[in-house]
Amino acid sequence: MSGAALLPKGASYASVTAAVSDPLLEQRAGRGWWIAFAIGCAGTLLMGGSIFWLLFRGIGIFGNNSTVVWGFPIANYVWWIGIGNAGTLISCMLLLTRQHWRSSINRFAEAMTLIAASIAGLFPILHLGRPIYFYWVAPYPNTMGAWPQWKSPLVWDFFAILSYLVFSLLFWFVGALPDFATLRDRARTRRAQVFYGVLALGWRGSARHWARYESFYRIMAALGVPLVVSVHSVVGMDFAASTMPGWAESIFPPYFVVGAMFSGFAMVLVLAAAVRSFLRVEGLVTLDHFDAMAKILLAGSIVMGLSYATESFQALVAGSETDRTLVAFEFTGAYAWLYWTQLLCNVALPQLLWFPAMRRSIPALIAIGLLVNVGMYLERILLIINTLSRPPVSSTWQIYAPTLWDGLLLAGSIGFFVFLFCLFLRLMPAVSMHEVRQLVPEGER
């Protein structure tokens, strides 16, 4: 796609700037935003209440039992960090491969990453029996003489999430610096001038600034890709470093990374539709963008299908008796209907995207995006409960069922995401203005 094709006819520097900044500076929020914000506030309260109850009563409020020791909290963690991985991955990979259409979507995809990764980081902590001691995974000299066990994937997770959060924040913030300066210079109220002025740190767009900016941003993008791959690989290791059937699989790290990209792209599709309606311009996030994202989603779905098939095939052909028991349980056991739903959402439904009409229909894409995220949630929870319900010793077999609090905490975390994303839309430039300006054709200012 050429750059000019991604912009409305007659786009100029001024029109691009106005399209992104006016909704923040000049216009009141629309009804859609207020409805989403109200839902987000309610969800945030729900999450706060659930966390309070959890801390008050302990992890007995969850559905976990003595056999299925992991349940919703770990599935929530993997699901959110998966969504959180996609933003930076999308943004870095598309920058390195010079996909110009990235300019319109990278900013909110990165914001999605930051929000989702922060929420994800909460769940392993909440899942601890004594969450106040979570800082024991950090290495620091202490009177107990205790140090982290470096052979534990949980410690790897701590480093991976910490690095990833700091990295994503810096990448996002530096990318937004020139846009904060634009907002500072366009703001008419004192409050907005001070707010964006402080965020812009005094950016002037000097040639010296741009040279350093570009050098920093490109190297960060190159570092971002292996970082993201490592983060979700480590999440895969949380499972693969064990000896449980269905977990101890060498395919896990890449399979987890693709899953993260897949669910993240599905989420970006949904958010792109939200941003497009919030900014009230069809010009910056076009149907061509949706078409390109849908193609990547389709590719992801094919790789996911291949991964599922490989998993089962390998267990049947090369696995032990416990592996075969597990595969039979997946397809015919207590949770089989969920497994079939997962395959439907993640593998079958996205095949509709072979049709160009589906790739250019926003309602269809929103539906597919949401269903893929449902499917990916099922994948994560089934990954946990299938294996744990069928451990090698059959006398310990147990079935898992989530409780009301499991559901409320998950729903609350989704509400909290909506709340933070609404704030982002209202306060931050949702599209990278300085990058879209580079797409404006020379003759048409």
Cβ 117 to another protein, closest distance in Å? 14
Cβ closest to another protein, residue 39 vs residue 225: 225
**Residue appearing with tokens 């052979």:** 151
Residue 212 Cβ, how far from another protein at the closest point, in Å? 5
Structure tokens at 144: 């107990």
| Closest to 416 (Cα-Cα) out of 32, 108, 80, 73 | 80
User: Which amino acid belongs to residue 251?
Assistant: I
Q: Closest separation between CB of residue 213 and another protein, Å?
A: 7
Of 60 and 139, nearer to another protein (C-beta) is 139
CA 75 to chain centre: 14
**Closest to 131 (Cα-Cα) out of 200, 39, 62:** 62
**What is the Cβ-side half-sphere exposure of residue 412, based on CA atoms within 13 angstroms?**
20
Which amino acid is located at 6 in the chain? L
CA atoms of 85 and 88, how far apart (whole Å):
6
- Nearest to another protein of 32, 139 (CB atom): 139
Q: What is the smallest separation between the CB atom of 33 and another protein, expressed in angstroms?
A: 25
| Contact (Cβ atoms closer than 8 angstroms) between residue 304 and residue 260 | no
* Angle (nearest 5°) at CA 415 between 102 and 425: 40
Write down the least CB distance from residue 159 to another protein, Å: 4
Residue identified by tokens 């269903």 is 371
Q: Are 445 and 12 in contact (CB under 8 A)?
A: yes
CB nearer another protein, residue 11 or residue 414: 11
Structural tokens at position 107: 């900013």
Closest distance to another protein from the beta carbon of 101 (Å): 17
Give the shortest CB-67-to-another protein separation in angstroms: 24
Residue with Cβ nearer another protein (133 or 313): 133
Residue 49 to residue 279: CA distance in whole angstroms: 33
Q: For another protein, which is the closer residue by CB, 147 or 331? A: 147
d(CA 345, CA 343) in angstroms, rounded, equals 6
The contacts found for 312-320 with CB under 8 angstroms, 24 or more apart, are 314/249, 314/251, 315/245, 315/246, 319/245, 320/245
Site residues (vs another protein, CB under 8 A): 12-14, 17, 139, 145-151, 155-156, 159-160, 162-164, 166-167, 170-171, 174, 178, 181-182, 184-186, 197-198, 201-216, 219-220, 223, 226-227, 230, 234, 237, 434-435, 437-438, 442, 445
Nearer to another protein, 27 or 351 (CB): 27
Cβ atoms of 116 and 417 within 8 Å: the answer is yes
Please report how close the Cβ of residue 261 comes to another protein at its closest, in angstroms. Answer: 19
Between residues 69 and 201, which has the closer beta carbon with respect to another protein? 201
